[in-house]
Amino acid sequence: EVRLVESGGGLVKPGGSLRLSCAASGFTFSSYTMNWVRQAPGKGLEWVSSISSSSSSIYYADSVKGRFTISRDNAENSVYLQMNSLRDEDTGVYFCAKWMGPATGTGRIDYWGQGTKVTVSS
């Protein structure tokens, strides 16, 4: 059974930092691209970042580029999101998500974690 368990969320002041973690199990983690997707309270889904299986390809949404860093540790079956210079608009639930298929084309998110809540507020 595929499991994705996020942790590291919490309350942080504007300008602060948080590091989110996602522990994966139930599949060969080192073979799959992983993503972070977020959802502001009462709003829709926003793709945040993607990292390929070997970390050779990394992509970010413009809204987080230069502030967030995605990384992974295949030995630990984990993916991370380092979030710096946090803003009020970064508030939301952050989902870790497994990507199936090619990076572009017929790829899709086939499994999601339950999310970790990030609140940026003074």
Partner 1 sequence: DIKMTQSPSSLSASVGDRVTITCRASQNINIYLSWYQQKPGKAPNLLIHAASRVQSGVPSRFSGSGSGTDFTLTINSLQTEDFATYFCQQSYNTPYTFGQGTKLEIK
Q: Which residues bind partner 1 (CB under 8 A)?
A: 35, 44-47, 50, 59, 61-62, 95, 101, 103-110, 112-115
Give the shortest CB-47-to-partner 1 separation in angstroms.
4
Is 16 or 109 the residue whose CB approaches partner 1 more closely? 109
Give the shortest CB-75-to-partner 1 separation in angstroms.
26
Is 43 or 122 the residue whose CB approaches partner 1 more closely? 43
Residues paired with residue 24 on neighbouring β-strands, in sequence order: 4
∠ CA 50-55-57, nearest 5°, is 60
Q: Residue 56: which region, alpha, beta or left (left: phi > 0; alpha: psi -120 to 50)?
A: alpha
Give the shortest CB-111-to-partner 1 separation in angstroms.
8
Give dist(CA 111, CA 4) in Å, integer. 8
Is 13 or 108 the residue whose CB approaches partner 1 more closely? 108
Query: Which residue is listed with tokens 């691209």?
Result: 33
Is 15 or 110 the residue whose CB approaches partner 1 more closely? 110
Give the shortest CB-67-to-partner 1 separation in angstroms.
15
Instruction: Please check whether residue 78 is in contact with residue 5, taking contact to mean a CB–CB distance below 8 angstroms.
Output: no
Give dist(CA 12, CA 4) in Å, integer. 24
